Structure 1
Amino acid sequence: MSHSLAGVCVGQTDISGNYEPPFKPILRMWPSSVVPTRENSNVTLKCVSPMPGIRLVLRKGDKILDSRLPHHLTEGTAEFHLTNLRLSHAGHYTCEYYLKESPDKISPSSDVLILLVTGDLPKPSLRVQHLGRVTTGEVVKLQCQKPHNSTELSQMFALLKEGNSSPIQPLTSENDVVEFTLQNVTSQDAGRYSCVYHQAEAPFRTSHPSDYLDISVIGGFLSSRPPCALSKCYTKINLIRLGMSAIFVMFMAVFLAEAWYSQRVATMNPW
């Protein structure tokens, strides 16, 4: 409540030109900040201001890309859409806001979000360093390795988890191999992981993601395996079903043969 009152009071002083917005906005990106290069690949950036009655500005680096009024007069929120993503979209994004009455008084910038557009460099590989029995609280290490034919230096690596809108962990390294660490492993760490590497500066050329690695934490055991293709999975399931059907038919044949033999013996030896 005190913040709201302070905002009203400050807003009044803003008209006289003595006010600069003190609170930085929040910038979010979805469905992910690591996206592939293709025509239908889209990203939405949502800038949220702590106060209404403002105009929101989206920047890429130092360049203003767009400015918008909030969706509703009582909310300080606006969405910016990037479509048909290409390498040129990759970079650092921030947002700011200013009161409509004082366009020269701008807020502090939001925290920086980096957008990576994958597919410009060869994909790395990802594997688990620790397999076997795992209990809650233990450490699991994931190793991401660049292909040997890659010549990129001073790059960053990022560990990705399916369903997360941003990388789990970023690492900077000039080596071809980095090691990500999952601390205090629980069932919440189960999921599909991949990794990428990218340039640390513009134009932020980024690799294809590695093949997915499934991590399961079940009954105190950690296992990893590459996900099988859908057709292969169905093939395995169908083979299992056919095998079980063959066993059932065999048992039925044996049962019917025994029943027929018993009936014949009884007919031949009525007493």
Structure 2
Amino acid sequence: MAPKLITLLGLGFCLNQKICTHVGAQDELSLSAWPSPLVPLGGHVTLSCHSRLQCVMFTIFQTTGNRIRELYTGLSNHVTINPVTPGHAGTYRCAGIYKHTSKLSAGSKSLNIIVTGLFTKPSISAHPSSLVHTGARVSLRCRSPLAFDAFVLYKEEHKQHSRQLDEGMEAGSHYVQAVFSMGPITPAHAGTYRCCGSFNRSPYEWSAPSDPLDIVITGKYKKPSLSTQVDPMMRLGEKLTFFCSSEISFDRYHLFRDGVAHGQWLSGGQRHSGAFQAHFSVGPATPVPGGTYRCYGSFNDSPYEWSAPSDPLHLCKTLRVLLCHSRNPPLNLTPPWQTQSPWKATRWMKRALQRKRHRS
């Protein structure tokens, strides 16, 4: 009988018994997937069978209930699947024949191969914010217009530790969503997260992954300061420059407007008046970018751990004019049209525009 057939018969016998009495039962094999057990539809994955003892033949197989489907049998301990199809989704194990005994090993622990991209990607968001202080709590919401039976949340650096929500599904009029609560937050929670949706009928076939969401821990370093130079008669089409200054020479500076990332300075700050400073150009102003601004600092070796936020800088968006912050104090100015009659306010604006033209 051919070695291949002997291997499969012996393997099937072992898998269907309560106790395996093979000589190699104490040497538990392991099965791994590279680059990841989460594989996009049409992508590729390499399955490798590992053993502490030397084997002369390996077999890698897919199991569905009591059924066994051989994927590969041969001298090499690995096989590449390319391209990956929905039929490759499922549970895999491996076994080998030992060189020193010519007997079959016990089967490895199972490895789930997940095929992604079969359905439209869901969306992911963090509440109240993706910027979280140590010890606080945050909820990650995964939402889709498709009526998935379950959502899976995973951290990109640890896809083998993805977790599935078994309860807590919420349904709206045009969507379903799952809420994953995290906290108290520690540095271990920081990182990039994605989520996928799946149906009970095909648990190893997932949707395309959501867009990435970065969970960032803030407050590790002293806060920087944020300033800007605003022309009271800033016109549409002109850029606005912010300055983020700190005593620490951060590798990166981050600017946020109303809690949303609005720019990143990648090369570190330049020395200016005894402090390190990064500048951000926002615009052209169409319309003027009003809102509440803050900046942060971080280092390349810990990209998800940032400084405390700067004090907020408020800019008002009123018609074509920024008046919440000017070159000179006070920082908060009330527009004349809110304190004067419409006729006086119009006359004030005409005079201001004339002065602007003379200066230019």
TM-score of the pair, normalised by structure 2: 0.50
Distance (whole Å) between structure 2 residues aligned to residue 184 and residue 203 of structure 1: 29
**Cα deviation per residue 1:182-232 (whole Å; 9 max; x = unaligned)?**
21336763232110122345462210111111223446244427999xxxx
Note if 1:120 corresponds to 2:220: yes
The amino acid across from 2:165 in the alignment is: R
Pairing partner for 1:98 from 198, 205, 219: 198
Contact kept, 8 Å, 1:156 with 1:197, in 2: the verdict is yes
Note if 1:140 corresponds to 2:273: no
Corresponding residue SS for 2:196: strand
The amino acid across from 2:142 in the alignment is: C
Percent identity of equivalent pairs? 26
Pairing partner for 1:224 from 325, 331, 344: 325
Per the alignment, residue 170 of structure 2 pairs with: 71
Corresponding residue SS for 1:62: helix
Note if 1:172 corresponds to 2:266: yes
Describe the shift of the 1:170–1:66 C-alpha distance in structure 2 as closer, same or farther (beyond 3 A).
Answer: farther
- Larger displacement relative to structure 2 (205-214 or 181-190): 181-190
Note if 1:46 corresponds to 2:141: yes
Distance (whole Å) between structure 2 residues aligned to residue 156 and residue 60 of structure 1: 23
**Cα deviation per residue 1:117-146 (whole Å; 9 max; x = unaligned)?**
111012111110344321233211111123
Pairing partner for 2:151 from 53, 56, 59: 56
Pairing partner for 2:121 from 11, 18, 24: 24
The amino acid across from 2:257 in the alignment is: K
Distance (whole Å) between structure 2 residues aligned to residue 136 and residue 85 of structure 1: 42
Note if 1:161 corresponds to 2:262: no
Contact kept, 8 Å, 1:34 with 1:116, in 2: the verdict is yes
Per the alignment, residue 245 of structure 1 pairs with: none
Distance (whole Å) between structure 1 residues aligned to residue 118 and residue 226 of structure 2: 45
Contact kept, 8 Å, 1:91 with 1:204, in 2: the verdict is yes
Describe the shift of the 1:203–1:190 C-alpha distance in structure 2 as closer, same or farther (beyond 3 A).
Answer: closer
Describe the shift of the 1:143–1:79 C-alpha distance in structure 2 as closer, same or farther (beyond 3 A).
Answer: same
Describe the shift of the 1:202–1:24 C-alpha distance in structure 2 as closer, same or farther (beyond 3 A).
Answer: farther
Corresponding residue SS for 2:188: helix
Distance (whole Å) between structure 2 residues aligned to residue 222 and residue 101 of structure 1: 59
Distance (whole Å) between structure 2 residues aligned to residue 214 and residue 72 of structure 1: 37
Task: Report how many aligned residue pairs link the two structures.
Answer: 207
Corresponding residue SS for 2:132: strand
TM-score of the pair, normalised by structure 1: 0.64
What 5-or-longer segments of structure 2 have no aligned partner?
A: 1-85, 90-114, 270-275, 332-360
Contact kept, 8 Å, 1:52 with 1:75, in 2: the verdict is yes
Distance (whole Å) between structure 1 residues aligned to residue 330 and residue 211 of structure 2: 35
Contact kept, 8 Å, 1:117 with 1:205, in 2: the verdict is yes
Distance (whole Å) between structure 1 residues aligned to residue 330 and residue 150 of structure 2: 46
Describe the shift of the 1:67–1:91 C-alpha distance in structure 2 as closer, same or farther (beyond 3 A).
Answer: same
Runs (4+) off by over 3 Å: 72-76, 129-132, 199-203, 225-228
Describe the shift of the 1:180–1:52 C-alpha distance in structure 2 as closer, same or farther (beyond 3 A).
Answer: same
Describe the shift of the 1:221–1:188 C-alpha distance in structure 2 as closer, same or farther (beyond 3 A).
Answer: closer
Superposed displacement of residue 44, structure 1: 1.5
Describe the shift of the 1:145–1:65 C-alpha distance in structure 2 as closer, same or farther (beyond 3 A).
Answer: farther
Distance (whole Å) between structure 1 residues aligned to residue 225 and residue 307 of structure 2: 11
Contact kept, 8 Å, 1:212 with 1:227, in 2: the verdict is no
Corresponding residue SS for 2:306: coil
Contact kept, 8 Å, 2:239 with 2:282, in 1: the verdict is yes
Richer in helix (by share): 1
Describe the shift of the 1:91–1:200 C-alpha distance in structure 2 as closer, same or farther (beyond 3 A).
Answer: farther
Contact kept, 8 Å, 1:58 with 1:94, in 2: the verdict is yes
CA RMSD of aligned residues (A): 3.3
Superposed displacement of residue 75, structure 1: 4.4
Corresponding residue SS for 2:309: coil
Superposed displacement of residue 50, structure 1: 3.9
What 5-or-longer segments of structure 1 have no aligned partner?
A: 1-13, 229-271
